Amino acid sequence: MAKVRIYQLAKELGMTNEELLEILDNMGVEYKSHASTLEDETAAAVKELIGEQRLAEEAKKAEEARKAIPHRAPVVVIMGHVDHGKTSLLDYLRKSRIAEKEAGGITQHVGAFEVKVASSSGTAGTVVFIDTPGHEAFTSIRERGAKVADIAVIVIAADDGVMPQTREAIAHAKAAGAKLIFAANKIDLPQANLDKVYQDLMREGIVPVAYGGDAEVLPISAKTGQGVQDLLETILITAELEDLRADPNAEAVGVVIESRVDKQAGVLASLLVQQGTLRVGDYVVAGEHWGKIRAMTDSEGARRNQTGPSTAVQVLGFSELPSAGTTFEWVPDQVAAKEITEERRLEREASAAAPEVNRPRNIADLLR
């Protein structure tokens, strides 16, 4: 093969002769002019260098684009063994949230609620809690494969320690890639034993911060509220490390977290928006069902015209019940909504005719 001339290589690499000559100067390559030929090894070295530079530039641009996307609030699910205090913790969080509001408006069950966290240490922000304890939420959502929660708070009663469903919760949350935070609950009880909780966790291969590891274990009381602020701040710090972001300008995408039929209103669906902004008037598809959003209500009971990432709203506009756990997405119009859902229905019918593959489903599906 003929040796390549500098101007030929410049053209091949999409750069000017001057740019290439400068690179050759920096490499200490000697030449007479841009018409000089290059040794094969030199040409290969130049190509490699340019390739690396371009990759680095692309990575930098991708990183800049990512950084331009705003942060979003973490979505948290509460899990743990029977009677360890999941519902009590949710109730406490809900109450403290309501108490903060001066007007104390009527709250609405939309499947998730927000807690605003103020703090002296500079950690301030919003945390979104899925409104039902993990196993209940999972039971209704497990049929589908949506990822809902970023963080799982594993509640462990400090008078009891790690129990079978604690292990189950840990396993599922881990498998789903959610970050784990442990709440050693009922710390107000005289028989509460924080060290036992630590030791039990060690036996599960989880090393608490107190023992030099990286697992956050926060002593709390869902009854008195002791430690709950620390738990909220730890959630925010964990979320910050996760660098959760979502583009509010994207097309709305999210998960159906609940749905039911109201005798008067008709089909009510609770949607968690994960990306983009959902607006009244938008068309969305969820599995084989579609809807045109006619009205939206937030967890404070307020009517909304639009809602962004990491918020949950109850919407009117589906004609049939979309299943909990189904992902939903924005579509441009009714034609698209009808065609997409019809396609899915036909696909399901076709695969139903084929022999069924029975895949095990579990609560990890919710988080995945």
Residues that bind Mg ion (CB under 5 A): 86-87, 133
Find the part of the chain contacting ligand GTP (CB under 6 A) among 34-42, 60-68, 114-122, 181-189: 181-189
Q: Is residue 247 a contact point for ligand GTP (CB under 6 A)? A: no
Quote the least distance from Cβ 81 to Mg ion, whole Å: 11
Minimum distance of Mg ion from residue 366's CB (angstroms): 17
CA distance 296 to 302: 8
Report the partner that residue 223 touches, choosing among Mg ion, ligand GTP, none (CB closer than 5 to 8 A by kind).
ligand GTP
Choices 52-60, 203-211, 216-224, 348-356 (CB under 6 A): range interacting with ligand GTP: 216-224
- Window of 38-46, 84-92, 274-282, 359-367 that interacts with ligand GTP by CB under 6 A: 84-92
Tell which one of 8, 37, 87, 126 touches ligand GTP (CB under 6 A): 87
What is the C-alpha to C-alpha distance for residues 185 and 73, in angstroms, rounded to an integer?
24
C-alpha span between 241 and 79 (Å, rounded): 22
- Please state the closest distance from residue 90 (CB atom) to Mg ion, in A: 8
Contact flag: residue 88 with ligand GTP (CB under 6 A): yes
161 near ligand GTP, rule: CB under 6 A: no
Residue 135 beta carbon to Mg ion: minimum distance, rounded to whole angstroms:
9
Residue 83's binding partner among Mg ion, ligand GTP, none (Cβ under 5 to 8 angstroms by kind) is ligand GTP
User: How far apart are alpha carbons 10 and 4 in whole angstroms?
Assistant: 10
Q: How far is CA 8 from CA 52, 55, 122, 230, in A?
A: 20, 22, 58, 64
What does 134 bind: ligand GTP, Mg ion, none (CB cut-off 5 to 8 Å by kind)? none
Judged by beta carbon, residue 34 or residue 223, the one nearer ligand GTP is 223
The CA angle 341-72-209, to the nearest 5 degrees, is: 120
One character per residue 64-83, x = contact with ligand GTP (rule: CB under 6 A): ----------------x-xx
Q: Which option in Mg ion, ligand GTP, none does residue 311 bind, with CB closer than 5 to 8 A by kind? A: none
> Using CB under 6 A as the criterion, which residues of the chain lie in contact with ligand GTP when the complex forms?
80, 82-88, 133, 185-186, 188-189, 221-223
